[in-house]
Amino acid sequence: MEGAGKLDRRYRFFRRVEQDDGHGNTVAEFVFQFEMAGNRKYLRGGESVMASRLTAKTPAILTIRNCINARLVQPEWQVEDARTGETFQVKESPQESDSRGYVEMLVMSGVAA
């Protein structure tokens, strides 16, 4: 990825937090953590990708700048496209890209949180 021009969308990151509902049960909700620019690239090909699409699950690679916030993201987090409201479940911790200035993570839309 070359330059910030490729980071053409804004993404909001939410962390899953378990809270007591006052009746002895725990309820999970997503709490906003930060917002930053990113780029989403849907995966193509492969048998597992095609099988996911048949079940209305869409895998993608989300690329964001490598920073302190980016390294906090965990697989139980949720990401929301600020423009469209589309929600993605983070499936893996961010991995440094080849350029080292960015991190990439596998995300999937259409899955339960």
Quick one: 77 exposed, middle or buried, by C-beta within 10 A (0-12, 13-18, 19+)?
Answer: buried
pLDDT, tens only, 62-91: 999 999 999 999 999 999 999 999 999 999
In degrees, rounded to 5, the angle at the alpha carbon of residue 91 between the alpha carbons of residues 19 and 25 is 15
Structural domains of the chain ordered from first start: 9-109 (2.40.10.270)
Q: What is the pLDDT of residue 48?
A: 63
Spatial distance between the Cα atoms of 78 and 99, rounded to a whole number of angstroms: 25
Q: What is the pLDDT of residue 58?
A: 86
Give the pTM: 0.82
Whether the predicted pLDDT of 113 surpasses 70: no
Q: Which residue, among 34, 38, 33, has the nearest Cα to 15 in the 3D structure?
A: 33
pLDDT, tens only, 8-61: 899 999 999 988 888 888 888 999 999 999 999 988 766 665 565 556 678 899
